[in-house]
Amino acid sequence: MSENQFIKNCVAYCLAQSFDISALAGLLSDSTLIRIIKGALLIEDDQSWSVIFAYGAVVHWNVSLEQQSKLHQLLLDHAENPLTSPEEDNFTFTLDCPGTRIIEDHIEIESSDPILIFALSQGMAQSIKLASFETNALTTINNTSYIPKSLAENGKIKLSRHKIAKIRGQLFLTKSDIILNYDLLDTPDFFWEYPEYEAFYGVTAKYLEIAQRTDVLSKKLETIHELFEMLADEQKHRHSSILEWIIIWLIAFEIGMTIFDKVL
What pLDDT is stored for residue 44 in this prediction? 93
- Compute the average pLDDT of residues 39-62: 94
Mean pLDDT of the region 36-63 = 94
Average pLDDT of the chain is 85
pLDDT digits (tens, 9 = 90+) for 86-106: 999 999 999 999 999 999 999
Residue of 238, 40, 148 whose CA lies nearest to 50: 40
Tens of pLDDT along 198-251? Answer: 999 999 999 999 989 988 888 887 877 777 777 766 656 655 556 566 777 777
Q: What integer is the mean pLDDT of 24-33?
A: 86
Nearest to 79 by CA among 49, 52, 119: 52
Q: How confident is the model at residue 155 (pLDDT cuts 50, 70, 90)?
A: low
pLDDT at 153 > cutoff 80: no
- Write down the pLDDT at residue 144: 80
Between CA 204 and CA 116 the distance in angstroms is 12
Question: 122: pLDDT confidence band, cut at 50, 70 and 90?
Answer: very high
pLDDT attached to residue 230: 72
Q: Could you give the 3-state DSSP secondary structure of residue 194? A: coil
User: pTM of this prediction?
Assistant: 0.81
CA–CA gap between residue 88 and residue 5 (Å, rounded): 25
pLDDT at 32 over 60: yes
d(CA 251, CA 257): 10
Sequence letter at residue 22: S
Report, as an integer, the average pLDDT of 146-164.
72
Q: How far is CA 133 from CA 30, 56, 71, 109, 163, in A?
A: 34, 12, 23, 28, 24
pLDDT score recorded for residue 222: 81
